[in-house]
């Protein structure tokens, strides 16, 4: 791997900070993708190896900040927008809590980490990862996703509890409950009694939304072309076995976009689309999992989005009651938190509703701004397989997140901002290579004829 930039700590003495910074950052990415639940519970809050390593990376970044790389142009603007969002949400969540004389609850800690801590991986990558490291980081993603898929296959082959490595593939404290800790985490499909595929994420829905994000990037990062097809096939099976309808909808969007034909790829993509839609139809209507999760849903279940819509509507009514402009602009939680909770309202799984709950319309704009800036930058480079993988993963996750994004549970927020930053890093590498080619071509044209 390419080391990070040459960084000196205070005092001017070289201490290998570049290697430490790059190593911590790469390790944090690997752990958040491959074994995000390795660790213990501290009270009701998980403390994982991935978060500890990320904390080390943040500390190194803070010390070495004066000598960091300065991202150029729109990359710098986007990193600043992410940092601004972290500051806004930290103030929005912490100040009302401390002003009321109480400590943060476990759900509030989850919101704070997802909105104000994990996004810092974006400016960290922007400032400390050289452009040439983009492929190496994509390869780390690919290896991490391969580990997740392999462990998921082992769960199905040998039984989900027979392959648990306590403290590594599952949280040490949670795995103490013996043979039922996965069933206790809403992983049982009620109509069949079977467990969803959870792999190292300990939750089927959480695994599904993270695979939506990471699988296209993992396929792009696969080193050999002949690995990409089995990678995709096993990934598609894993998405199906998560049993999450939100994930299935996100996967359909991803396939629909990926298979939009171009003049050069018209016949291959049409053939692939036909094969995949036939496979999808067979899965939904001719397998027990597909039939139970889709075709036998009640009308009430569909109308209320699996019971998620009612509390979200209560949240909206609570925000708009009494013509409170402040609740609409910066979120109803704070002033009307207890009142909304008492009436059974609120949002958690529905990402955009939960984001409105915590930050209002201003919070939605602040969070979506870096995403919009990123896609504006990615679009001209959409034919590059790495950039295309980032775009597909983010779009698929954002579609699924309407109903269930798993954003407040680690490691989704970290993986989201990491994937988005890798798209920028890849574009920086492409621009650097393009600039070198232009300079070489100019030097060749201006060189004397006898020296060519």
Residue 125 lies in a domain: yes
pLDDT of residue 5: 42
Residue 336 lies in a domain: no
Between CA 112 and CA 330 the distance in angstroms is: 15
- Total domain count, the chain: 1
Residue 243 lies in a domain: yes
User: pLDDT for 249-261, tens place per residue?
Assistant: 888 888 888 777 6
Between CA 100 and CA 80 the distance in angstroms is: 31
Neighbours of 166 (CB within 10 A): 14
User: pLDDT for 56-107, tens place per residue?
Assistant: 988 887 776 655 555 667 888 898 899 999 999 999 888 877 777 777 777 7
DSSP 36-93: TT-EEEETTEEEEHHHHHHHHHHHHHHHTGGG-----HHHHHHHHHHHHHHHHHHHHH
**Full domain range(s) for residue 266:** 17-308+347-441
- Which range (188-197, 211-220, 427-436) has the least confidence? 188-197
Tell me: pLDDT of 2 over 50.
no
User: pLDDT for 296-318, tens place per residue?
Assistant: 665 556 555 565 666 666 666 66
Residue 158 lies in a domain: yes
Residue 419 lies in a domain: yes
Cis peptide before 411, with omega less than 30 degrees from 0? yes
Tell me: pLDDT of 271 over 60.
yes
pLDDT of residue 106: 75
Phi–psi pair at 170, nearest 5 degrees: -150, 155
Helices and strands (DSSP H and E) totals, the chain: 18, 2
DSSP 212-224: HHHHHHHHHH-SS
How confident is the prediction for the chain on average, in pLDDT? 80
| CA 155 to the chain's CA centroid | 23
Whether the CB-CB separation of 217 and 386 falls below 8 Å is answered with yes
User: pLDDT for 378-436, tens place per residue?
Assistant: 999 998 999 999 999 999 999 999 888 899 999 999 999 999 999 999 998 888 888 77
User: pLDDT for 123-135, tens place per residue?
Assistant: 888 877 777 788 8
The single residue listed with the structure tokens 């995709």 is: 232
Determine the Cα angle at 191 with ends 187 and 195, to 5°. 25
pTM for the predicted model, two decimal places: 0.88
How large is the greatest C-alpha to C-alpha distance in the chain, in angstroms? 85
Tell me: pLDDT of 219 over 70.
yes
Residue 216 lies in a domain: yes
| Both structure tokens of 282 | 């067979």
3-class DSSP string for 365-384: HHHHHHHHHHHHHHHHHCCC
Residue 136 lies in a domain: yes
Residue 304 lies in a domain: yes
């Amino acid at each position: 791997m390419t080391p990070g930039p040459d960084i000196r700590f205070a005092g001017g003495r070289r201490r290998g900070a570049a290697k430490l910074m790059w190593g911590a950052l790469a390790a944090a990415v690997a752990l958040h993708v491959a074994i995000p639940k390795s660790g213990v519970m501290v009270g009701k809050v998980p403390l994982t190896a991935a978060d500890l390593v990320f904390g080390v990376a943040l500390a190194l970044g803070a010390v070495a900040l004066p000598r960091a790389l300065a991202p150029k142009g729109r990359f710098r603007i986007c990193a600043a927008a992410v940092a601004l969002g972290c500051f806004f949400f930290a103030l929005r969540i912490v100040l009302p809590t401390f002003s009321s004389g109480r400590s943060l609850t476990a759900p509030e800690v989850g919101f704070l980490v997802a909105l104000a801590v994990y996004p810092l991986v974006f400016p960290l990558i922007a400032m400390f990862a050289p452009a040439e490291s983009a492929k190496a980081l994509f390869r780390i993603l690919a290896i991490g996703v391969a580990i997740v898929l392999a462990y998921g296959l082992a769960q199905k082959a040998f039984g989900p509890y027979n392959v648990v490595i306590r403290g590594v593939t599952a949280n040490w404290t949670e795995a103490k409950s013996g043979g039922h800790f996965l069933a206790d985490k809403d992983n049982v499909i009620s109509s069949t009694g079977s467990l969803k595929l959870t792999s190292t994420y300990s939750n089927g829905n959480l695994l599904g939304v993270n695979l939506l994000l990471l699988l296209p990037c993992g396929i792009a990062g696969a080193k050999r072309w002949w690995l990409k097809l089995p990678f995709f096939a096993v990934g598609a099976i894993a998405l199906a076995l998560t049993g999450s309808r939100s994930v299935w909808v996100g996967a359909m969007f991803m396939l629909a976009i990926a298979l939009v034909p171009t003049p050069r790829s018209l016949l291959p993509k049409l053939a692939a689309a036909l094969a995949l839609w036939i496979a999808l139809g067979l899965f939904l209507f001719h397998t027990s999992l597909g039939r139970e999760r889709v075709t036998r849903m009640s009308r009430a279940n569909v109308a209320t989005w699996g019971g998620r819509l009612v509390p979200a509507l209560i949240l909206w009514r609570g925000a708009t009651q009494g013509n409170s402009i402040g609740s609409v602009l910066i979120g109803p939680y704070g002033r009307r938190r207890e009142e909304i909770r008492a009436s059974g309202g609120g949002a958690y799984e529905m990402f955009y509703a939960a984001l409105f709950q915590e930050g209002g319309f201003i919070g939605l704009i602040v969070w979506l701004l870096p995403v919009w800036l990123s896609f504006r930058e990615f679009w001209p480079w959409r034919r590059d397989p790495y950039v295309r993988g980032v775009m597909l993963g983010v779009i698929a996750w954002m579609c699924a997140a309407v109903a269930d994004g798993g954003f407040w549970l680690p490691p989704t927020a970290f993986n989201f901002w990491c994937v988005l930053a890798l798209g920028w890093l890849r574009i920086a590498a492409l621009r650097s290579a393009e600039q070198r080619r232009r300079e070489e071509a100019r030097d060749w044209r201006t060189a004397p004829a006898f020296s060519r």
